[in-house]
Structures are given as C-alpha cells and as structure tokens.
Amino acid sequence: MPLLSIETTCDETAAAVISQERRVLSSVVASQDELHARWRGVVPEIASRAHVDRIIPIIDQAINKAGIKHSQITAVAVAIRPGLIGSLLIGLSAAKAIAASLQIPLIGYDHLAAHLYACRLEFGDELTYPAVGLVASGGHTSLFQLHSPIALEVLGGTIDDAVGEAFDKVASLLGLGYPGGPQIEKLAGHGNPRAYRLPRPLANDTTRLDFSFSGLKTSVRYQIWPPEVPHPRTLTDQERADLAASFQQAAIESVIAKVVLAIQKTDCRVVAVGGGVTANKLLRSALEGLEKRHRVRVLIPSAALCTDNAAMGAVAWEHIERNDIADLDLDARPNIYRQKQK
C-alpha cells in the first residue's frame, strides 16, 4: 500500500513513495539553490514558478524509482503548513489533481511535524512520547512538546529571525555564498569561536522558551561596519574566519540553552530534532552531548532527512490510521499556531 508524499513548502520540490510500514521506496528532491543564490535568499515568486516547472517530473521520477505504476498509489499526502503560500499551493494543487483522478484519499500534513517524524524513519520505536521537539531551519526555530506524532504543543519559537536565516544573512555580510549554513560552517573551521564577544539573546532567560537571532546578526554587522564609521572595515581572512566561528558558536549556544530549558520544564526523556540547520556538525555534536549531561535520548536524523524532503511525509500514515482524511476543499495555511491536539 504505497503512499505518495509531496513537499513544496519553500524552495525544494520533493516527492517520495512510502509504504505503510514506513519504508521509503523512493525520495526525490530538486533544489533551487542555484536560482536564489544571486539574491542570497529565497525569492517567493521564483520559488513558486520553479515548483510549477518541476512538480510533475519530480512526482513521475519518484513513482518510477519506487518501481510502481501511478495506478498503484493508494493515497496522496501533501505538506499544507507552514510555508510560502505560493509554493504550498503548487504542491496542494498537484496532490488534489492526483487524488481526484485516481479516486484515492488526500491527506494534508504539517511540515514541522513531518520534520520531527523523520526521527521515526531512522530510529523507529526509540521515538517515544511525550518528547521535546526542536525544529531549526531557514524558516523556523521552534520548540515543541510532542504528545503523539501529530499532536504538537508549542513551547516556544523565534521572536524575529530563524536561526537558518541568521546563518544566511551573516554569510552574506562575510561575502560568502548561498545557502549560508554550509559556507559559515566551513569558514568557521579555520577560526577561533571566542575571538569576538557576541550576544546570546534570551539564552539566559529561564522564564520563556523563545529564541532571538536578530540582535546577534546585527552585532556581526557592527563588527564589520561599526555605526560610527562611514565605511565597512576590510577584514583579513583570519578575522573573517574568527567572526564566522564566533557567530556559529553564539547561535548554537543560544539553541542549546533553550533545548536544555525545555528538557527541564517538561521532564521529557527523548529529544527529537529536525530541520536543515541540524545538519551543522557543531550543533549535532552539542545536541548529542546533552545525552550524558541530562540523561536524555537525542534523536537526530541523517543530513538528507534533516533538510526539506518528502520522505518525512511518512507522518501522513499517522493521519490515515486515525481516519484523518481530507476532502478536495483542503486549503494551504502558510502560518498557523499549532495548539495541543487531543
């Protein structure tokens, strides 16, 4: 009983075929990095147009790689929230067309719940509930208490920039390419993470589980272009590496501080992690270090399952097994506050 999953929440066009046993039969992702590199960030209109061009070929490729026919698909699932509205609608329109033409169930799933469900694909029953969930990406930096695979209670989130967005903007300030995360990580490997004293906004605030990265980003800018001078400084290669390392360290320490606070507040013994920023090796190491210090199990999927993909749409099987089937009136919801569900 294969399910077709579609993911177009931002700038990756992805499709996957997943069995009811949660075995990924195929997973295809088309990146748009080359289209957005000129602007060093995602341009929504460009993303939407690229999805239109790529969605059908990517779906066909996923079905062919799975070794099945279109007629053998028993359900179609699509990420409907949160994301860029234009991008979401492309995936949703394709999913509706397939559901209507094949007369099969249509399921809408939450992109962030899917990121965390990727842990189930790699770790199976080690993902137990309740658990703390961290999603860190270019568009999201959020903490949840997971009561089930599809019941997410929001504990906190960023009040300004997502951590991945901060990486991209700092990379731009340092004259690096897009996407900025891998570029910062590479340059930081040659730098001193304590060379610059940068802030960790909200990291020491134990009253809330929210994040803030705009002040950190601004502090990096002021190191390059102090407000009292008319022109930016020309940094040496070592200064650039030191600034990249100092930024990366501050950003990661800010994330870790809130994950620790979430563990303490919820007393959960499992931490599930997802999102593209968690491909960062220093962040992965810091998260793994929580296991011994706080006696928790930290589940971090492989890098391919951390970044946007459709395989994590396996979470749709949880909806099917709860008879949570949508109709063709299903709509995209670019921004939604996920209240605790029963």
CB 248 within 8 A of CB 166: no
Reported as a single tens digit per residue, the pLDDT across 243-271 is 999 999 999 999 999 999 999 999 999 99
User: What pLDDT was estimated at residue 63?
Assistant: 98
Q: Strand pairing of 141-148 and 151-157?
A: antiparallel
CB 96 within 8 A of CB 38: no
From 246, 252, 241, select the one nearest 183 (Cα to Cα). 241
Under CATH, which number does the domain 3-115+308-321 receive?
3.30.420.40
CB 252 within 8 A of CB 280: yes
User: What pLDDT was estimated at residue 340?
Assistant: 41
User: What pLDDT was estimated at residue 40?
Assistant: 83
Instruction: Say yes or no to pLDDT of 307 above 50.
Output: yes
User: What pLDDT was estimated at residue 342?
Assistant: 35
Residue carrying the six token digits 């995209």:
332
In the predicted model, what is the mean pLDDT of the chain?
A: 95
The CA–CA distances, whole Å, from 207 to 152, 258, 261, 265 equal 21, 10, 9, 10
Reported as a single tens digit per residue, the pLDDT across 22-36 is 999 999 999 998 999
Reported as a single tens digit per residue, the pLDDT across 103-159 is 999 999 999 999 999 999 999 999 999 999 999 999 999 999 999 999 999 999 999
User: What pLDDT was estimated at residue 338?
Assistant: 45
Structural domain boundaries in the chain: 3-115+308-321, 124-305
CB 62 within 8 A of CB 27: yes
Mean pLDDT of 168-193: 96
* Joined tokens for residue 21: 């046993």
User: What pLDDT was estimated at residue 336?
Assistant: 59
Reported as a single tens digit per residue, the pLDDT across 269-283 is 999 999 999 999 999
Residue carrying the six token digits 């949880």:
318
Mean pLDDT of 196-203: 96
Q: How confident is the model at residue 341 (pLDDT cuts 50, 70, 90)?
A: very low
Do domains 3-115+308-321 and 124-305 share one topology? The answer is: yes
Instruction: Say yes or no to pLDDT of 42 above 60.
Output: yes
Mean pLDDT of 312-331: 97
SS3 per residue for 258-303: HHHHHHHHHCCCEEEEECHHHHCHHHHHHHHCHHHHHCCEEECCCH
Mean pLDDT of 279-294: 97
User: What pLDDT was estimated at residue 14?
Assistant: 98
Q: C-alpha angle 248/251/257, rounded to 5°?
A: 135
| β-bridge partners, 114 | none
Cα distance between residue 74 and residue 102, in whole Å: 9
Phi, psi of 274 (to 5 degrees): -155, 170
CATH class of 124-305: alpha beta
